[in-house]
Amino acid sequence: MQQPPVIEIRDLHKSYGTLEVLKGVTITAERGKVVSLIGSSGSGKSTLLRCANLLEDSQSGEILFKGEAVHWRGTGMARRPGDARQVLRIRTNLSMVFQQFNLWAHMSILQNVMEAPMTVLGRDRAEVEPKAREYLAKVGIADKADAWPAQLSGGQQQRAAIARALCMEPEALLFDEPTSALDPELEQEVVKVIKDLANEGRTMILVTHDMRLAADVSDEVVFLHKGLIEEQGPPDQLFGAPKSERLRQFLSATQ
């Protein structure tokens, strides 16, 4: 039997007060696939990721994790994810990587990577530490385990943040503009890690302004415009033969 998608979002509507940010968005991340979200600033990309991770309430629509529908409490403006254990299970299985790394400044790099598996999942240090070191090696910063975040370059900090996300051994990774805060020469070291993860067959949703990265790693690209999907499809089609005038304009502006 075919496995259900890791993440499925159906007809999601999300408003902040009177501002409707998502106006009925449907996306699916199948196991082992990479979906990239592109679009102008303010189009709702981060909001969509935050909704997928149940960090946000929403007004209507469905979110499913491996076929399991999120339970909601309340309706409309008062609707929020309603089952704390389900929220924890889903959130710990969808690890986020943010533009600003968000490492804990008062912890070593190794502690940063070990923290959530130990405190959130209740794993033993003896079990977590070798894995944490393995993931640090995987992203190329094994020698930084005992350093403080402030002692690392931006690219190294972002790779540490990726190791931290991996150490949760999540079902999917959610990236929100992971290279946007980096100088171009540091961007490439993070791009390489993301490409390696895609080649390993990890399930990912990637918000990025880097069209070359999106073209290289994605199975599907979704162009969001003012809270609606304007166009979606395989990268060859989206970048090579965009149908929508808005997408054409967006792509020519980002060249």
Q: Which one, 46 or 108, has the nearer CB to Mg ion? A: 46
Could you say which DSSP state residue 114 is in?
A: H
Going by their DSSP bridges, the two strands 228-233 and 68-69 should be labelled as unpaired
State how far the Cα of 99 lies from the Cα of 220, in Å rounded to an integer. Answer: 21
Q: Is 85 exposed, middle or buried (0-12, 13-18, 19+ CB in 10 A)?
A: exposed
Number of residues in contact with Mg ion under rule CB under 5 A: 2
Q: Which one, 141 or 207, has the nearer CB to Mg ion? A: 207
Angle, CA of 38, 76 and 221, to the nearest 5°: 15
Contact (Cβ atoms closer than 8 angstroms) between residue 145 and residue 133: yes
The answer to whether 16 contacts ligand ADP (rule: CB under 6 A) is yes
Please pick, from the candidates 8, 34, 35, 43, the single residue that binds ligand ADP as defined by CB under 6 A: 43
Please pick, from the candidates 47, 112, 158, 203, the single residue that binds ligand ADP as defined by CB under 6 A: 47
Q: Give the shortest CB-22-to-Mg ion separation in angstroms.
A: 13
The listed partner (ligand ADP, Mg ion, none) that binds 43, CB under 5 to 8 Å by sort, is ligand ADP
Please pick, from the candidates 7, 9, 12, 21, the single residue that binds ligand ADP as defined by CB under 6 A: 21
State how far the Cα of 29 lies from the Cα of 170, in Å rounded to an integer. Answer: 14
Q: Give the shortest CB-49-to-Mg ion separation in angstroms.
A: 8
Q: What length is written for the chain?
A: 255
Stretch binding ligand ADP (CB under 6 A), from 23-31, 45-53, 141-149, 189-197:
45-53
State how far the Cα of 219 lies from the Cα of 223, in Å rounded to an integer. Answer: 13
Beta-bridge mates of residue 27? 9
Q: Give the shortest CB-161-to-ligand ADP separation in angstroms.
A: 18
The answer to whether 46 contacts Mg ion (rule: CB under 5 A) is yes
Contacts with ligand ADP by CB under 6 A lie at 16, 19, 21, 39, 41-47
